[in-house]
Structure formats: structure tokens, C-alpha cells
Amino acid sequence: MTARPADRPDRPAVEERPTIVMCPEGPMLLRGDAVIEDADGNRHRTTRPVSAVCRCNKSATKPWCDGTHKVLPKKLRP
């Protein structure tokens, strides 16, 4: 998965890069305007100031987190 500023999907500018925070046993939080590219090459634009990106690979709304990681056994959480 790749995150890029929405206005420059071809390459990120240093001052425009989104901020990424990994939540323990949860999603990746992406702050800023960006485009997410999934494993199949599909692009998804962020629509919120902070977007939660799935890391457990079980979300019904991939690439976005739907909270499924909360019901997974602890050993299967990201």
C-alpha cells in the first residue's frame, strides 16, 4: 500500500507528506490529504482529516478499517 498527497499522486513533496501513526493491535492512522493504493493497484482518496487504514486484512471496507480487528483473537491482531 502506498500513500501519496492527493494533489501530487505521482510523487510526494516533503512538506506535503501525510503523517502515519501505527496503532498497537489496530489500524494505521493516516493524517492529511492522500491517495491510498491497494495491492491490486486501485486508488482510494482520503475523505477525512484522519483516516484509519486496515492492517488486519479482515475489514469488509478495505483499505479502510471497519473495527474487525477488535473481535479477532489477540494473536491475529496486527
What percent of the chain stands above pLDDT 70? 79
pLDDT grade for 25, boundaries at 50, 70 and 90: very high
The mean pLDDT value for 41-69 works out to 96
Q: Identify which of 26, 27, 7 has the alpha carbon closest to the alpha carbon of residue 18.
A: 7
CA dihedral in degrees (69, 74, 75, 78; nearest 10)?
Answer: 40
What is the overall mean pLDDT for the chain? 87
pLDDT at 39 over 60: yes
pLDDT grade for 51, boundaries at 50, 70 and 90: very high
pTM of the entire predicted model: 0.75
